[in-house]
Amino acid sequence: MPSPSLENIDPSIDPTADQVRAMRDGDQTAPIVMLNLLKFRDQANYPAGSEFEGSTGIEAYRRYQHAFVQAVGAVSKAQLLYDGPCEQVFIGLAGTPETDWDKVLLVRYPERRNFLEMMANEEYRAALVHRYAGLERTILIQCKG
What's the pLDDT band for 105 if we cut at 50, 70, 90?
Answer: very high
Residue 87 has a pLDDT of 93
Query: How confident is the model over 95-104, as pLDDT tens digits?
Result: 998 999 999 9
What's the pLDDT band for 71 if we cut at 50, 70, 90?
Answer: confident
For domain 11-144, the CATH class is: alpha beta
Q: Are 114 and 76 in contact (CB under 8 A)?
A: yes
Domain positions in the chain = 11-144
Q: First CA to last CA across the chain, in angstroms? A: 31
Q: How far apart are CA 135 and CA 42, in angstroms?
A: 9
Q: Give 134 or 67, the one with higher predicted confidence.
A: 134
Q: How far apart are CA 91 and CA 20, in angstroms?
A: 31
The residues near 64 (Cβ < 8 Å, ≥ 6 apart) are 127, 128, 130, 131, 134
